[in-house]
Amino acid sequence: MLPNFNSETGYLPSGTYRMNWTNFSDHFGFNGHRSRLLCGLLAALKNLADAGCRSVLLNGSFVSNKELPEDYDGVWYTMGVNEDLLDPVLLDFRHPRFAMKSKYQGELFPAGIMAAPGVTYEIFFKTDRNNIPKGIVHIDLATFP
């Protein structure tokens, strides 16, 4: 069960919250715009799962109470992933990740790559641009539909 969003920031309280896909999509797909983003995320997660990825962390304005987030953001764990089965778009990080956003409506980064000097995306996504802590959601792809 997820805690309530922080009334001041709109974020989940700091922490990592485990959810399955059904609960995640039910909780965060609360309008048509968000449902469209979820369709792209579902396609990306299916490809990651088929390539051997077992878990992802999701965050950004999508994992908040924002009515119309621009996209979703997340990280995926590379251990066990067969890159030959991975959609090359998920490895195309040329700014502004146009191909990934066009195909999947969001951005997913390998967990171990750097978002800033000495800071992996996994750590980077636990705060906002103003260094305000926020919660993230963990989805286990081993039980993914």
Task: Note the pLDDT tens digit of each residue in 83-123.
Answer: 999 999 999 988 788 999 999 999 999 998 999 999 999 89
pLDDT beyond 80 at 145: no
Structural domain includes residue 5: no
Structural domain includes residue 47: yes
Tally of structural domains, the chain? 1
Q: How do residues 52-71 score in pLDDT, each as one tens digit?
A: 999 999 998 999 999 999 99
Structural domain includes residue 3: no
Structural domain includes residue 137: yes
The share of the chain scoring above pLDDT 70, in percent, equals 100
Per the structure, the complete domain to which residue 50 belongs is given by 15-143
pLDDT score at 87? 98
Structural domain includes residue 61: yes
Work out the average pLDDT over 126-143: 92
- Collect contacts of 1-10 with beta carbons under 8 A, ≥24 apart: 2/27, 2/137, 3/135, 5/64, 5/65, 9/64, 9/128, 9/132, 9/134, 10/64, 10/65, 10/66
